[in-house]
A and B are shown apart, each in its own frame.
Chain A
């Protein structure tokens, strides 16, 4: 009898463990599935690259031009990273630490450039300054375009720094700049590095700006290989070079993050400190933000508006309208898919850091540096075998999800990691099932972060062009494709309304992105005075 009882107990226990295992197995399976999907472009490139005779590949890799192009790309990325680092930190710390008039209104222009595609940016600057081109023009444009990524990341980092640490440092005799350097900066290294990684990968993968400005980067070379000689194998080899470059970058970021891992936040109690009221800081920050607003928001919108107003040709508003609807719905769909795909990976990442999770993270991030054309072609190559999905909105949305998966995975895993494991355990002891814990504890805590990542994907997907051109259903027009088709025949005036509408629509998620900061501030100011 006793034996039987024990067996029963073991059975019960086994059943429970079995459930856990099943969940884990499902997670691993789902993760493997997502990884396979995100490796499609890499797989495609390798297949194409090995079709090329070895000597030809060697020739291609070793010719002077290749070194030149890699050098140009690397220098461009480094300069953009340095500049966005400096200005991103400046703007973010201004917005976070310094007392500024009308702060909510200042936050908006700091993020609004996210709503403007880099090709639109470039068109408007070329329209404003004829002959605007070359390497430094590209550095300028890409810095303006990617700055919000860094600002956003730094702000998120600043919010994690306990303000009483700053007060202690101040009481220990440090002035603001040294406090910033010795206390704040070391703690947000991970966030800063993440933001710079996004900016860097964006600059690496950008085609619109560099091609319009006549800068020979890797993406331009890749595109030229397709266009000049329809040479897909050479393009694949160069794409792999690009992947190699971005891998270096990703690994560098990882090293910084690992260093930061040691400095886990030890407590979450945080009162918001006094905002700095030094006039010199206030003026400096205002000048930076105003200059940025002028260059990155007012100039493009001014140029587009003048083009729009001076356009003598009647605008087809029904086309504008239907393109807007298409853009929003397919981008929304893509963002939703990205969110779903990043759930299993996010859960794995938030729970443990293993060789596997790190490798997965790398793969997802590295894919981020590929120009849309390469990912587009990879998906064309695979999906054209399947009539049912090829050139459907589903495929396009799916492509968006893959293209921007890194954005949603990063926010997903960090938001899930925010859920204290204690809270999960307490909930479990209160009799909640795994599902109920997920629903009542994990989801409410992590949803703001997840929504943020999803919004970011939505925003980027709306602006996406090269993959959209290839994968959209025939006859399906988005705002981006319309801008492209008018710009391709030099009808900038007619492209202007589409660009303006795109910016207006993209501004909405941009507001949402700048919102959590606002919410934090409101919440924290209530915790004053205790």
Chain B
């Protein structure tokens, strides 16, 4: 039976292959060509480090509103940043939308962003905008401790509490994860490297459990493998949606001002190589508008950066959290952090 399908490869089948390859490439170049032909309607190219699932509906809304066609390239923030660095002045991107301040800082440091005028995104507080206005924050996420309310009765007030015996073998972290590394970087910047080294060594000695991802920590708490874990605030929603059920996990915050409450932002910048700055500004204004910011909170469970916006369901506002005072631009270099994590044996 099978032999019928397993005919030896002949010259003719080779030819068929070639023809198929040729036709498909023709087809492809045609479709690519089509999009280029439509020069009448304006276009913008965005490199997005924010995942399609979260951001696509918002960008689609603007596309419908403005009539500007968006070409969106999704990828990992850091990798897209390196790609932009490599493209330099030749980058086809008009805008870079990044998951974290670090990637934006890298582009800014290479001088590839153009400053954004003062009349753009007026509602965003200046502390979430780069000092030279080369990028603007759009949404925020908070570092939290996710925990099982049935098991953790005494909540930690500071990250230093986590080295206490009551949390022995209870705590989970994801040291390879960028957001955990950002947190450690912030800790090094504000509390010093010795403090950070001691803290990391102490949680290790206290039996910290290592996971590959934030979501894996949340799942592990839900399953009862661990009781408490350091994650970003929105992972409970993410895991719950992916599993299609409620979880036995809730978010907790440290005392206001504790480094454990680090707020990191996603943001956007306009590339110097873009010749469509006005269109780009329009998009940033749209994303920073009060209406869209509200939708970020309700749909993606992120924090809005605009003052007096409500927090995601069931969570305190940014003001109530009391984020530590950290220059987000400094979070771009996590080299020292990684070396430290390696030194204490967590990486």
Contact = CB atoms under 8 A, between A and B. Distances in A.
Given A329-B27, A474-B45, A491-B53, A226 B8 contact: no
A518 B6 contact: yes
Nearest to B22: A336
Contact of B3 (A326, A394, A518): A518
Contacts of B14: 447, 450-451
B327 interface: no
A312 B241 CA distance: 9
B176 interface: yes
A413 interface: no
A166 interface: no
A230 B82 contact: yes
Contact of A515 (B8, B18, B92): B8
Given A232-B85, A312-B244, A511 B6 contact: yes
B246 interface: no
Given A212-B212, A470-B83, A516-B9, A493 B242 contact: yes
B308 to A, nearest CB: 29
A530 to B, nearest CB: 22
B82 A336 contact: no
A375 interface: no
Interface residues of B, number: 70
Interface string A180-217: 00000000000000000000000000000000101010
Given A133-B212, A231-B335, A515 B85 contact: no
Given A485-B51, A490-B242, A515-B7, A227 B79 contact: yes
Contacts of B6: 104, 511, 514-515, 518-519
Given A214-B176, A515-B7, A232 B82 contact: yes
Contact of A232 (B54, B86, B181): B86
A228 interface: yes
Interface string A435-447: 0000000011001
Interface string A99-112: 00000110000000
Nearest to A386: B90
Contacts of A133: 212
Contacts of B106: 230
Contacts of A282: none
B3 A475 contact: no
Interface string B134-160: 000000000000000000000000000
B75 A469 contact: yes
Given A391-B92, A473-B32, A491-B242, A226 B78 contact: yes
Contact of B51 (A380, A394, A489): A489
A336 B334 contact: no
B28 A393 contact: yes
Given A226-B82, A393-B28, A474 B71 contact: yes
A443 B86 CA distance: 42
A390 B92 contact: yes
Per DSSP, are chain A's interface residues mostly helix, strand or loop, or mixed? helix
B317 interface: no
Interface in A419-475: 443-444, 447-448, 450-452, 454, 469-470, 473-475
Given A133-B212, A230-B81, A333-B24, A384 B90 contact: yes
B11 A393 contact: no
A332 interface: yes
Interface string A493-517: 1100000000000000001101110
A91 interface: no
A224 B22 CA distance: 39
Q: How large is the interface on A (under 10, 10 to 19, 20 to 34, 35 or more residues)?
A: 35 or more
Contacts of B86: 232, 377, 380-381, 384
A370 to B, nearest CB: 15
Contacts of B5: 511
B8 A230 contact: no
Nearest to A226: B82
Interface string A335-350: 1100000000000000
A232 B239 CA distance: 34
Interface in B7-30: 7-11, 13-14, 17-18, 20-22, 24-25, 27-29
B236 to A, nearest CB: 12
B9 A384 contact: no
Contacts of B92: 384, 387, 390-391, 474
Interface centre among B29, B45, B83, B210 (most CB of A within 10 A): B83
B83 A475 contact: no
Nearest to A231: B335
A385 B334 CA distance: 30
A333 B14 CA distance: 14
A384 B87 contact: yes
Give the most central of A227, A329, A452: most B CB within 10 Å: A227
Given A444-B11, A474-B73, A518-B3, A229 B21 contact: no
Interface string B28-51: 110010000000000001000001
A259 interface: no
B213 interface: yes
A521 to B, nearest CB: 10
Given A230-B332, A475-B71, A447 B85 contact: no
Interface in B43-71: 45, 51-54, 71
Interface string B320-333: 00000000000011
Given A104-B3, A491-B53, A228 B21 contact: no
Contacts of B81: 230
A330 interface: yes
Contacts of B335: 228-229, 231
A328 interface: yes
A237 interface: no
B180 interface: no
B27 to A, nearest CB: 7
Contacts of B176: 214
Interface string A121-164: 00000100010010000000000000000000000000000000
Interface string B205-239: 00000101101100010000100000000000011
B342 interface: yes
B24 A332 contact: yes
A66 interface: no
B342 A65 contact: yes
B334 A380 contact: no
A518 B45 CA distance: 50
Nearest to B5: A511
B179 to A, nearest CB: 13
B82 A377 contact: yes
Per CB-CB distance, the 10 closest pairs between chain A and chain B, nearest first, are: A312-B244, A329-B24, A519-B8, A336-B21, A490-B215, A227-B78, A230-B106, A384-B87, A384-B90, A474-B73
Interface of A: 65, 104-105, 126, 130, 133, 212, 214, 216, 224, 226-232, 312-313, 326, 328-330, 332-333, 335-336, 373, 377, 380-381, 384-385, 387, 390-394, 397, 443-444, 447-448, 450-452, 454, 469-470, 473-475, 481, 485-486, 488-494, 511-512, 514-516, 518-519, 522
19 contacts: A133-B212, A214-B210, A227-B76, A229-B333, A328-B24, A329-B27, A332-B25, A333-B21, A333-B25, A336-B22, A377-B82, A451-B9, A470-B79, A474-B73, A481-B74, A490-B239, A491-B53, A515-B7, A519-B8
Given A214-B212, A313-B242, 11 more contacts: A130-B216, A214-B176, A229-B335, A329-B24, A332-B24, A377-B86, A470-B75, A474-B72, A481-B74, A514-B6, A519-B7
Interface of B: 2-3, 5-11, 13-14, 17-18, 20-22, 24-25, 27-29, 32, 45, 51-54, 71-76, 78-79, 81-83, 85-88, 90-92, 106, 176, 178, 181, 210, 212-213, 215-216, 220, 225, 238-239, 241-242, 244, 332-335, 337-339, 342, 347
